[in-house]
């Protein structure tokens, strides 16, 4: 969706959208010098609105929160790749890894 559709969905002004892009909270794709927003951008924008309007988080707080959200998504991708790689290993390797993880988990539980 383009800028106008995006702002219409969120009921926000141009200045607000420009601030979010300038701060790096949103990073729309650009095609032929026009920004295109994805569903993920819409979800991020709704989170920003909830944080600012409902919870009273200031711009510095939004910056920290959005950075943490990005880190969390990055970690999820790494974990997905790791799980896939382990899934491709031989059963004996999987058993050793499971045993090592269980041992570490038991040690942390004490």
Question: Six-digit token pair at 57?
Answer: 């988080």
Domains of the chain, residue spans: 1-57, 58-110
Of the chain, the percentage scoring pLDDT greater than 70 comes to: 97
N-to-C CA span, the chain: 52
Looking at residue 74, its pLDDT comes to: 97
Q: What string of pLDDT tens digits covers the 110 residues of the chain?
A: 999 999 999 999 999 999 999 999 999 999 888 999 999 999 999 999 999 999 999 999 999 999 999 999 999 999 999 999 999 999 999 999 989 888 877 777 65
The structure's pTM equals 0.79
Looking at residue 105, its pLDDT comes to: 72
Q: How many CA atoms lie within 13 A of 51 on its CB side?
A: 19
* Pairing, β 34-36 against β 29-31: antiparallel
Q: Where are the alpha helices (DSSP H) in the chain?
A: 3-10, 14-23, 39-49, 59-87, 91-109
């Amino acid at each position: 969706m383009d800028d106008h559709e995006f702002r219409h969905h969120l009921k926000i002004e141009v200045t607000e959208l420009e601030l979010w892009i300038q701060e790096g909270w949103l990073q729309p794709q650009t095609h032929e010098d026009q920004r295109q927003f994805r569903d993920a951008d819409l979800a991020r924008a709704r989170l920003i609105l909830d944080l600012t309007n409902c919870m009273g988080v200031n711009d510095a707080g939004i910056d920290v929160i959005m950075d943490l959200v990005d880190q969390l998504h990055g970690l999820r991708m790494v974990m997905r790749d790791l799980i896939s790689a382990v899934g491709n290993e031989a059963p004996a390797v999987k058993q050793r890894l499971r045993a090592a993880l269980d041992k570490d988990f038991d040690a942390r539980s004490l």
